[in-house]
Amino acid sequence: MVPTLVHADDGVEADSGGLSVKTGDLEMNLGGRLHLDATVFDIGFDSVTETDVRRARVEFSAKYGDVVQVRVDREFAQADGWRNLWVGITPAEGFEVRGGNQIVPFSMEDMGSSNMMALAERSLANTLSPAFGLGGMARYHSKNFTIAGGYFTDALDDEVGQSRVRGDGFTVRTTFAPVTSRKGYLHFGAAYENRSYNVTEPPRFTAISASSLAPSLLRTGALNGATGFDAYNAEFAYARGSVQVQAQYIGATVSRAGLTDLNYASWYVQSSLMVTGEKHGYSRSTGTPLGPRIGKKGGAIELAGRYSELDLDDDSLDRGRASIANIGATWYLNQNIRVLANYARTKTDGSLLVPDTSGNLGVVRFQVAF
């Protein structure tokens, strides 16, 4: 079935979703996010208190009927630059084609919005995830199934802790959710990524800590001689009532000219509880868990915990191992404002670039999103 163009009532509206303008079949929205962080950490010889803006992003979107959609996001904090910058077309119900700078469809954690994360930062598995890329993709979804794939090259700009250099290649991700209801969901997913590298732009991987203001935990440095990258992702998520559980495993192989391959791996398991009883959402169109459904009155409280590990330890190029154990609490004042407080215990060992160390970290975030 081909989507129809539905006329909207003309006008300007400001609500929890930002500033919207409707005229005929055209609808435009201006929003953004502001994440303010304060971090205290005691890691190795460093005992520091830092404050900074983690994210300050302006977000513009527009759609024409149900057929054409445009997204433009500009980040102004820390690693500033373009994020979403794409045009999408929906030629048939459940099918979308999109081109531009966008999140690569590989990892459910990567594809989830930073506005809805249960903890301040993503897990160590995110070190091996592609994040943004410049390219084209196609996606199809039905009630319980999604499949997305495309061809991507380097992103337009770096992100915090991640280099934009990801090489050229394709990614495919598929998900199956046999249960999706207001009470909860059950989700399974898998993805594969294959990239090739330009020898003049070697890749590098960096593991950020439980706060972007703390020193990075591990780094590979430039992987000179790298020619290719293969990554595999397996994911699971389950929510019932006010409880949500999710887990991921990512394995990766870096091929090198005339040298042995490098094998890396990372995983995490995470759980959260809405103390005030709210349920968690799920996106059938992208096959990703969403944050809790917060009522207009707000006042919700969430507790979360996560353990993640990253292994960059390879016999031919030892870059070590890291782990993070996180716990956190979040107070949702309303749909747009929340305050997070996290504690993390970090550990690194076996790296030739950074010393073996363990540490404690606390971070508080004030967040406004609209």
pLDDT tens by residue, 268-280? 999 999 999 999 9
Spatial distance between the Cα atoms of 348 and 323, rounded to a whole number of angstroms = 7
pTM: predicted TM-score of the whole model, two decimal places: 0.92
Q: What is the SS3 assignment for 313?
A: coil
Centre a 10 Å sphere on the Cβ of residue 21 and count the other Cβ atoms it contains.
14
Q: What is the pLDDT, as a whole number, of residue 3?
A: 44
Give the range among 122-131, 197-206, 326-335 with minimum mean pLDDT: 197-206
Q: Output the CA angle 71-73-78, nearest 5 degrees.
A: 160
CB 114, CB 121: distance < 8 Å = no
CB 112, CB 290: distance < 8 Å = yes
Residue 239, strand partner residues: 185, 244
In one letter, which amino acid is 244?
Answer: Q
**Interval 84-103 mean pLDDT:** 97
Q: What is the pLDDT, as a whole number, of residue 199?
A: 86
User: Tens digit of pLDDT for each residue in 286-318?
Assistant: 999 999 999 877 789 999 999 999 999 887 787
Q: What is the SS3 assignment for 110?
A: helix
Which pLDDT band, with edges at 50, 70 and 90, does 323 fall under? Answer: very high
Q: What is the pLDDT, as a whole number, of residue 102?
A: 98
Q: With pLDDT > 70 as the criterion, what percentage of the chain qualifies?
A: 97
| pLDDT at residue 15 tops 90 | no
Give the range among 2-11, 66-75, 201-210 with minimum mean pLDDT: 2-11
Which pLDDT band, with edges at 50, 70 and 90, does 4 fall under? Answer: very low
Instruction: Assign residue 18 a region (left: φ > 0; alpha: ψ between -120 and 50; beta: otherwise).
Output: left
Which pLDDT band, with edges at 50, 70 and 90, does 7 fall under? Answer: very low
In one letter, which amino acid is 111?
Answer: M
CB 36, CB 360: distance < 8 Å = no
**Interval 1-18 mean pLDDT:** 64
Q: What is the pLDDT, as a whole number, of residue 297?
A: 79
Between the alpha carbon of residue 335 and those of residues 272, 284, 327, the distances in Å are: 18, 21, 22
Q: Output the CA angle 75-34-214, nearest 5 degrees.
A: 80
Distance of CA 145 to the CA centre of its chain: 21
Q: What is the pLDDT, as a whole number, of residue 295?
A: 85
Residue 27, strand partner residues: 22, 63
Backbone angles phi, psi at 125, to 5 degrees: -60, -25
| H helix runs in 32-165, sequence order | 108-111
Q: What is the pLDDT, as a whole number, of residue 317?
A: 80
Of residues 362 and 164, the one with the higher pLDDT is 362
**Interval 18-22 mean pLDDT:** 93
Q: How many helices (H) and strands (E) does the chain have?
A: 1, 22
Average pLDDT, the chain: 93
Rg of the chain taking only CA atoms, in angstroms: 21
Question: H or E element: which one contains 108?
Answer: helix 108-111
Q: What is the pLDDT, as a whole number, of residue 45?
A: 66
Spatial distance between the Cα atoms of 331 and 188, rounded to a whole number of angstroms = 29
Spatial distance between the Cα atoms of 86 and 136, rounded to a whole number of angstroms = 9
| pLDDT at residue 144 tops 50 | yes
| Domains of the chain, first to last | 11-369 (2.40.160.10)
Among 351, 62, 313, residue whose Cα is nearest residue 218: 351
Tokens of 44: 């190795």
Q: What is the pLDDT, as a whole number, of residue 9?
A: 63
Q: What is the pLDDT, as a whole number, of residue 1?
A: 42
Which pLDDT band, with edges at 50, 70 and 90, does 255 fall under? Answer: very high
CB 206, CB 162: distance < 8 Å = yes
**Interval 158-167 mean pLDDT:** 86
